[in-house]
Every structure is written in C-alpha cells, then in structure tokens.
Amino acid sequence: MVLWHPPDAPWVKLNMDGVFSTSTLEAREEGLVRGPDGGLLQAFYAPLAASSSFEAELLALIQGLEMAMDLSTHIWIELDSATLVSLLSSGHLGSADLRHHMALIWSMTSQWQVRFSHIYREGNQAADFLTGRGSRPLPLHTLIQSLRLGTWRR
C-alpha cells in the first residue's frame, strides 16, 4: 500500500500534477500544499497552455512553487512523474524546448531548501483528485473539507 506522509516541521509538502490530453489537446494543472500536520494550506487547479504531458508537469510545478514559496522556505516537492524527479535531481536543464521552464524552476528554488521525491499515483490521491475534477471545479470550501475528511477518492 502506498501512503502519503506529512513532512516534518518546518517543511511543507507540495503535491501536484500536470495533465495533457492528446485527444483534446487540453492541459490542466492541479496541486496542493500541506503542512506538518497534514492539513491543507493551499490548493490550485486551472487550465494551462502546454504541448505535452511533461510540459504540463513543469508548468504545474512552477505554479505550485509560487504558492509554496509564500508559505515556507523549506519545500518538499513530491511528484508522481519519476522522469521529472530524475531530471530535477540531476541538475540538468533537459531538452531545448523545455529549458526555459527548467531554468525558471532552478532560479525559483535557488534561495530555498527544496527536496524532490517520487510518489506513486496511489499516494498522490489528493492531487489526482484535483486532476479528476477537470472542468467541474468544486467551490474551494467544499474542496478543503473533502481533503480534510479524506473523501477525495474518485
């Protein structure tokens, strides 16, 4: 069984997901930041302009970082994309078409304590729940209550 675990203080944990549909060419970003008690600090989901799943993941990470940086200087980024975790951990900028996103991420994180780790999709259920919302957004208070109660499973 894969479970999500809260970070130790003073860390916050960012879980996010970027989704790209090859059939509709639409992309979305979703994510949430939770604190050491596991409580929701902030969440986001929105459409975005991306040309691939990988670019959607990068753009979702940038949005999530912007949110998390307002909350803490210690950010644990947990992703269900093992490829992206590997790229971020390597210090490389990746392919030419994505370098500007990677350079922005490195610039954003240069003054913060940041760690990257992989989590299987089953452990990333809260961010995955946001992915499943699609164009049917919940009112924020309903979303927060669902996440607190653990009722986000589809």
Gap between the Cα atoms of 124 and 71, Å rounded: 20
The model carries a pTM of 0.79
Helix (H/G/I), strand (E/B), else coil: 109: helix
Contact status, residue 88 vs residue 108, Cβ threshold 8 Å: no
Gap between the Cα atoms of 52 and 33, Å rounded: 24
C-alpha closest to that of 140 among 59, 64, 41: 41
Domain boundaries, the chain: 12-146
Domain at 12-146: CATH architecture: 2-Layer Sandwich (3.30)
59: number of Cβ within 10 Å: 22
pLDDT tens for each residue of the chain, 154 residues long = 677 889 999 999 999 888 899 999 999 888 899 999 988 899 888 899 999 999 999 999 999 999 999 999 999 999 888 998 998 888 778 788 889 999 999 999 998 999 999 887 665 556 555 555 444 444 454 455 445 444 444 3
Contact status, residue 60 vs residue 18, Cβ threshold 8 Å: yes
